[in-house]
Amino acid sequence: MSMLQLEVVTPDKTVVSAQVEMAVCPGVMGEFGVLPHHVSLLSALKIGNLRYTEGGKQHNVFISGGFADVNNKVLTVLAESAELAEDIDTARAQAAKERAEKRLASQADDVDHARAEAALQRAVERLHVAQLR
């Protein structure tokens, strides 16, 4: 059976390096599936869940947004941060969520709303992906 090589890489580490049957990426225009013979493509990713099937088992990975490159049976995902569902620290994500919510509710002038909104989205999505472990 033809396989897809999946590489999920952040500035710190390689989060996934595996031969997989298929993967589904959180594209900015919606989810898209990648099979071994997919045409070449480059797509921006949003904060979301990257799921893939390896040996018949589904895995879930939180992705903070980034890029997916499909070329010659290799899917490379470059993300600022990424964690396998089982490696997500839910207490940390819950704390990040509460911090971001407080900032968004505050009337203080020095709050960067776009930054707090992005932090909130990451925290909410981490809690979602962690539930899929």
By the criterion CB under 6 A, which residues form the site for ligand ATP?
Answer: 12, 64, 81, 83, 87-89, 92-93, 96, 119, 122, 126
CB 119 within 8 A of CB 50: no
Return the axis-axis angle of helices 113-130 and 90-105, rounded to nearest 10°.
150
CA distance 33 to 70: 11
Quote the least distance from Cβ 111 to ligand ATP, whole Å: 15
Give Dmax over CA atoms of the chain in angstroms.
Answer: 58
CB 114 within 8 A of CB 80: no
Quote the least distance from Cβ 1 to ligand ATP, whole Å: 32
Quote the least distance from Cβ 37 to ligand ATP, whole Å: 31
CB 75 within 8 A of CB 7: yes
Helix (H, G, I), strand (E, B) or coil at 109: coil
Q: Pick between residue 6 and residue 96 the one whose CB is nearest to ligand ATP.
A: 96
Quote the least distance from Cβ 78 to ligand ATP, whole Å: 14
